[in-house]
């Protein structure tokens, strides 16, 4: 049996970062920037006002205070988006709004609160002049051109994961299309004679194919594009036909058909179409795992054969398929968010494997607690639905005692739980 880390290391050695593509900015959230982004403009483009107020020459306000105001002649008004046509000279001022370019001649802005504008308005006096009630230093309330981003500078580095704030920065540069690493297309194939498509009636002895849907949703959640190949029956011909449909995908994920006693069909087909290794991984659930590379047409396609049990396939996906997808997307962080919690249950580990127990994590008095979510059978998919984390019982531990500190991989990340 190989460890989870060994299996992951081998899988990752077969997948590479995909190529770049141009993507509309609103579709680039969560994607990885493929090129360094430089600015060809200054942001802001011009010196502009940080306040609603009066644009002045600082020297015109020298010695001003509420007891000794300086009275300036108002020669105009400028709003954001417009350029003042007048020039501010000694003794004059232009009324200015936040974001408006600073008029020629002005070198400071005095905010409304430091003038008698309110008083004049209350007295219904026309605003032809204004009293300045404080001395303004040069540069007061002025945002300088290029103070956020200067023309020619490196703004975002290749490899950056685009969050809403980076999307905003790109928009501020006027980019509507951005170069990002393309999303991997992940073909998802369920195998098994017992499976029925969810659109059909359920005959006796059959079960609905749920793995295709949980796995496809996992692919989407982590940034891949699922390509649903449906159900292959447990025959060489059926399996081969379906697998060939993955020829234009970046990865194939199959479920089931890899447990002892039945993987001969899968083994034969996979060996015919490429190279395949079957591993037993020191983990529970999810022990049987197939990994290989398929030669389908021009491309070599990595194939991950997950176990059939619905819980096993999802957990094995989290450990192996998720990092592979993230690597193809150009991401650098593959580890699931993991927290320290106190176990509320005793959990035995009888056969030296790493156990991923389904737990519900809650926070009480600043401390995380993890409680098992009922029956832990690998066929009990509702345990995944109730869980928000996977408690890790290390392979070298015979048991986790109630009250012990444990690591929990979070399936959902929410600080408050
Ligand atoms: P296998 O790996 O083929 O031995 O399957 C293990 C268990 O998982 C069996 O109980 C299967 O019926 C079940 N199973 C396999 N594939 C699926 C699927 N696509 N959806 C739901 N259950 C499945
Ligand atoms: Mg089967």
> Do residue 239 and residue 370 come from a single domain?
no
Number of structural domains (the chain) is 4
Show the domain range for 63.
48-143
Where do runs of H (alpha helix) occur along 245-377?
264-273, 310-316, 322-328
210 in contact with ligand 1, CB cutoff 6 A: yes
Residue 56 contacts residue 133 (beta carbons within 8 Å): no
Atom 17 in ligand 1: residue holding the nearest Cα: 308
Residue 338: which of 354, 361, 366 has the closest Cα?
Answer: 361
Strand partners, 369: 342, 362
- 327 in Cβ contact with 12 (< 8 Å): yes
Ligand 1 pocket, mutate which of 205, 228, 257, 309 (most atoms under 8 A from CB):
309
Contact present, 328 and 377 (Cβ < 8 Å)? no
CATH code where residue 39 lies: 3.90.105.10
* Tens of pLDDT, residues 152-179: 999 999 999 999 999 999 999 999 999 9
**CA of 256, closest atom in ligand 1:** 2
- Ligand 1 proximity of 308 Cβ (cutoff 6 Å): yes
Complete DSSP assignment for 223-235: T-EEEEEEEE-SS
Does residue 53 contact residue 117 with C-beta atoms inside 8 Å? no
Task: Say if residue 315 is in the same domain as residue 187.
Answer: yes
Q: How far is CA 28 from CA 16, 178, 179, 281, 323, in A?
A: 20, 7, 9, 36, 20
- Pick the last residue of a domain from 328, 347, 373: 328
Tell me, what CATH number does 392's domain have? 2.40.340.10
Q: Based on the fold, state whether residues 187 and 315 are members of the same structural domain.
A: yes
pLDDT the model gives residue 262: 65
CA of 4 to the centre of ligand 2 (A): 23
Average pLDDT over residues 386-411: 97
Q: Using CA of residue 109, residue 112, residue 113, residue 117, what is the dihedral sign? A: positive
Contacts of residue 256, defined as CB under 8 A and 6 or more positions apart, other chains included, come to 190, 191, 192, 211, 306, 307, 308, 313
Judgement on whether residues 9 and 133 belong to the same structural domain of the protein: no
Does residue 132 share a domain with residue 236? Answer: no
Pick from 280, 302, 328: which residue ends a domain?
Answer: 328
- Closest residue by Cα to atom 10, ligand 1, is 309
Q: Is residue 25 part of a domain?
A: no
Q: Is 192 in the pocket of ligand 1 (CB under 6 A)?
A: yes
Q: Let me know whether 56 and 95 are in one domain.
A: yes
User: Looking at the predicted structure, is the pLDDT value of residue 417 above 80?
Assistant: no
Q: Is the CB of 3 under 6 A from ligand 1?
A: no
Let me know: does 24 contact 306? Beta carbons within 8 Å.
no
Ligand 1 midpoint to CA 309 (Å): 5
Residue 336 has pLDDT above 70, yes or no: yes
Q: Residues 372-382: pLDDT tens digits? A: 998 999 999 99
CA-based end-to-end distance of the chain: 35
* 416 located within any domain: no
Q: For helices 236-244 and 264-273, give the axis angle rounded to 10 degrees.
A: 40
Does one domain contain both 64 and 85? yes
Same domain? For 319 and 252 the reply is yes
Whole-number Å distance, alpha carbon 66 to ligand 2 midpoint, is 86
| Omega within 30 of 0 (cis) for the link into 403 | no
Q: Does one domain contain both 267 and 391?
A: no
Residue 24 lies in a domain: no
pLDDT confidence of residue 415? 60
Peptide bond before residue 44 is cis, with ω within 30 degrees of 0: yes
Q: What is the mean pLDDT of residues 248-261?
A: 89
Tell me if 93 sits within 8 A of 113, measured CB to CB.
no
Domain boundary among 282, 297, 328: 328
Task: Indicate the average pLDDT of the chain.
Answer: 95
CATH of the domain at 126: 2.170.190.11
Contact (Cβ atoms closer than 8 angstroms) between residue 358 and residue 386: yes
Residue whose C-alpha is closest to residue 189's, from 274, 253, 258, 275: 253
Residues 282 and 319 in one domain: yes
**347 found inside a domain:** yes
Report if residue 12 sits inside a domain. Answer: yes
In a domain, 27, yes or no: no
Strands (E), 224-374: 225-232, 251-255, 274-280, 283-284, 288-296, 299-306, 338-343, 347-348, 354-364, 367-372
Distance from Cα 392 to the centre of ligand 2, integer Å: 27
Stretch 47-61: mean pLDDT, rounded?
98
The answer to whether position 415 is within a domain reads: no
Do 193 and 105 share a structural domain? no
Closest by CA position to 187, among listed 216, 149, 218, 150: 216
Give the residue, out of 190, 192, 215, 230, with the most ligand 1 atoms within 8 A of its beta carbon, to mutate for a pocket test. 192
CA of 34 to the centre of ligand 2 (A): 41
What's the Cα-to-Cα distance from 405 to each of 134, 155, 408, 413, rounded to whole Å?
A: 61, 43, 10, 19
**Cβ-Cβ contacts under 8 Å for 261 (sequence gap 6 or more):** none
Cβ–Cβ contacts within 10 Å for residue 97, how many? 16
Q: For residue range 73-127, list pLDDT tens digits in order.
A: 999 999 999 999 999 999 999 999 999 999 999 999 999 999 999 999 999 988 9
pLDDT in tens, 278-311: 889 999 998 899 999 999 988 899 999 999 999 9
Q: What's the CA-to-centroid distance between 255 and ligand 2, angstroms?
A: 9
The CATH number given to whatever domain includes residue 211 is 3.40.980.10
201 and 243 in a single domain? The answer is yes
Cis peptide before 369 (omega within 30 of 0): no
């Amino acid at each position: 049996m190989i460890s989870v880390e060994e299996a992951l290391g081998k899988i990752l050695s077969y997948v590479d970062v995909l190529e770049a593509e141009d993507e509309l900015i609103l579709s680039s959230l969560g994607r990885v920037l493929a090129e360094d982004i430089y600015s060809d403009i200054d942001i802001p483009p011009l010196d502009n006002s940080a306040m609603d107020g009066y644009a002045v020459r600082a020297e015109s306000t020298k010695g001003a205070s509420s007891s000794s105001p300086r009275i300036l002649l108002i020669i105009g008004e400028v709003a954001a988006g417009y350029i003042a046509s007048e020039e501010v000279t000694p003794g004059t001022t232009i009324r200015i709004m936040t974001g408006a370019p600073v008029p020629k001649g002005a070198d400071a802005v005095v905010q409304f609160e430091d003038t008698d504008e309110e008083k004049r308005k209350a007295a219904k006096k026309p605003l032809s002049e204004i009293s300045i009630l404080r001395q303004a230093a040069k540069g007061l309330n002025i945002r300088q051109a290029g103070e956020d981003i200067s023309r020619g500078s490196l703004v975002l580095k290749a490899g950056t994961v685009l969050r809403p704030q980076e999307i905003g920065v790109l928009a501020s540069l006027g980019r509507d299309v951005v170069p990002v690493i393309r999303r991997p297309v992940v073909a998802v194939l369920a195998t098994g004679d017992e499976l029925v498509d969810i659109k059909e009636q359920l005959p006796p002895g059959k079960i609905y194919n749920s793995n295709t849907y949980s796995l496809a949703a996992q692919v989407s959640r982590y940034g891949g594009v699922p390509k649903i190949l449906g159900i292959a029956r447990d025959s060489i011909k059926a399996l081969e036909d379906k697998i060939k449909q993955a020829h234009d995908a970046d990865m194939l994920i199959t479920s089931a058909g890899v447990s002892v006693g039945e993987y001969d069909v899968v083994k034969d087909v996979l060996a015919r179409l490429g190279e395949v290794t079957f591993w037993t991984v020191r983990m529970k659930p999810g022990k049987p795992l197939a990994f290989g590379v398929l030669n389908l047409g021009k491309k070599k396609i990595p194939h991950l054969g997950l176990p059939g049990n619905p819980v096993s396939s999802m957990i094995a996906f989290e450990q192996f398929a998720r990092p592979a997808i993230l690597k193809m997307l150009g991401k650098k962080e593959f580890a699931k968010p993991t927290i320290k919690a106190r176990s509320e249950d005793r959990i035995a580990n009888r056969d030296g494997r790493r156990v991923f127990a389904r737990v519900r994590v809650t926070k009480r008095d600043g401390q995380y607690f993890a409680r098992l979510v009922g029956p832990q059978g690998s066929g009990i998919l509702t345990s995944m639905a109730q869980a928000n984390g996977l408690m890790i019982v290390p392979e070298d531990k015979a048991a986790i005692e109630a009250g012990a500190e444990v690591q929990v991989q979070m399936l959902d990340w929410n600080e408050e739980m």
